[in-house]
Amino acid sequence: MTKSDNPKSPARRSALKTLGTGAVAAAGASTLPMWARYAQAASSEPIKLGFQMHATGIGAAYGRWYDRTSTAAVKAINADGGINGREVKMITEDDGTDPKRGAEVVEKFANQHKVDLAFGTLFSHVVMGSAPRAGELKLPYFVVSEGHHVASGKLNRWTVQPGITDVKSQVQAMAPFVTQNLGKKVTMIFPDYAFGHDHRDFFSAAVEANGGEIVQLIPIPPTETSFTKYFPKIPRETEVIYHVMVGPAVLTFVKEMGEFFGPNHPQIFGFIDSLEAVDLSSPGLEFLEGTYFWEGNPRYAQPDQTEYDKTFRAAVGVDANGASVSDPTDVSTYAHMFGCWETLYVIKAGMEAAGYGGIADRQKLIEAVEAMTDMPASNEHPQGKKVFNGKTHQVFGLQYISKVTNGKLMVVHTTSLEDGFYPDEVDYTKMSF
């Protein structure tokens, strides 16, 4: 990476304040009553944020926890005085985890609800179906996905991903651990659509760059419900199985993999997507003991747990095992949902830096976010420190590799920010609005 490509380059720093100022306050922490905190903006309408939720469809488990996390963040922001003295209101619409419906939701947000911006989309095919319409409507669109679609330049200046890293950065940061510690001959099992294709392309390149070899690629249709027929395609020389699956059939996938291999399996490295919202103590998952997972945010509270993580867990109602405090069987999508919390605090910081007053200031908001760089670990960024690249509209953060140990995911390696940097592929700041 050249100096000009580096998101931390001094030439790209801004006079904007960084985001680690401790703005999060627990509800009731302020000494002022709510009416007094909003008094200066008594005549102002609330800031309306459109939450595009995967309430139904294959993303429903994520959508449910994205909703809980976003609701908790809005509550905390409002308890601390809102944004620019104005209350924040979240308006939710279900996109069915469907691209066409996603575009319709974006249009509804802009024309019917007249929101200030939209946020929350996770599944990459829905982002790709929705973002172009947001651009046409000049609606700021803050996605909480992992696809490389934003940073690749495929979208528009109105679309940003400032709260969660993309697949290209994730796999580039982790490939050295896989090839150096688990094996060099890798078979990949991935969903056969944009998100899975990002894994296929970027992890293949990263493995080869680290002296490894992809011996087989096994794409799985997103509607598949049984996977046994795919496992015989794994070559005998495979040293590592790399798996990343999503949707309601993930538990079936992992169980069937265990039944197929039994105790004599290659090393296994998975993205936690394959087990998001799934209890590790579920019958049939015993074979995962000793296998490895990428985690965007460690599900289990670690021995070195930060105060920021404690604050975040308490706010969203998640216990030390990553499950709901009210129902230990209701396992969260902890590796991803922090992205909604962090995105909402980026929106808050951007609006405050831009002096955002209403829809007429949407462009100022995007420009303010583009000027951001360092995001220190904080209550606003509980997953860890980050650097935002305003040219590519993509944030870079830490990645965690965990090993299943005594039935829990324990972090064995944390990447550096620099491990995930790659050269810019686009400069959105040169694009027109």
Separation of alpha carbons 236 and 357, rounded Å = 62
Residues 95 and 216 in one domain: no
Residue 276 maps to a domain:
yes
Residues 201 and 146 in one domain: no
Separation of alpha carbons 171 and 225, rounded Å = 26
For helices 307-316 and 334-354, angle between their N-to-C axes, nearest 10 degrees:
100
Residues 81 and 36 in one domain: yes
Separation of alpha carbons 292 and 178, rounded Å = 9
Confidence band (pLDDT; 50, 70, 90) for 38? low
Separation of alpha carbons 189 and 256, rounded Å = 13
Residue 341: pLDDT above 50? Answer: yes
Choose one of 268, 295, 322: the last residue of a domain: 295
**Containing structural domain, residue 191:** 168-295
Q: What's the whole-number mean pLDDT along residues 398-423?
A: 97
SS3 of 299-339: the string is CCCCCCCCHHHHHHHHHHCECCCCEECCEEEEECCHHHHHH
Q: Average pLDDT over the chain, rounded to whole?
A: 90
Residue 319 maps to a domain:
no
261 to 82, 258, 264, 365: CA distances (angstroms): 53, 5, 6, 52
Residue 278: pLDDT above 70? Answer: yes
Q: Which region among 27-31, 109-113, 240-244, 381-385 has the lowest average model confidence (pLDDT)?
A: 27-31
Residues 197 and 279 in one domain: yes
Q: Which region among 86-90, 283-287, 317-321, 410-414 has the lowest average model confidence (pLDDT)?
A: 283-287
Domain count, the chain: 2
Q: What's the whole-number mean pLDDT along residues 258-267?
A: 90
Residues 180 and 51 in one domain: no
Neighbours of 77 (CB within 10 A): 23
Confidence band (pLDDT; 50, 70, 90) for 14? very low
Amino acid at 422: Y
What predicted TM-score, i.e. pTM, was given to this entire model?
0.89
Residues 144 and 13 in one domain: yes
Residue 407 maps to a domain:
no
Q: What's the whole-number mean pLDDT along residues 319-324?
A: 97
Q: Does an H or E element contain 67, and which?
A: helix 60-79
Residues 34 and 153 in one domain: yes
Separation of alpha carbons 207 and 220, rounded Å = 21
Residue 392: pLDDT above 70? Answer: yes
Which residues are CB-neighbours of 140 under 8 A, at least 6 positions away?
116, 117, 118, 134, 158, 160, 362, 365, 366
Q: What's the whole-number mean pLDDT along residues 52-63?
A: 95
Residues 37 and 179 in one domain: no
Give me the CATH number covering residue 50: 3.40.50.2300
Per-position DSSP letters for 198-221, written without gaps between them: HHHHHHHHHHHHTT-EEEEEEEE-
Q: What's the whole-number mean pLDDT along residues 184-188?
A: 97
- Of the two residues 194 and 399, the one the predictor is more confident about is 399
Helix or strand or coil: residue 370? helix
Neighbours of 2 (CB within 10 A): 8
Residues 117 and 265 in one domain: no
Residue 293: pLDDT above 70? Answer: yes
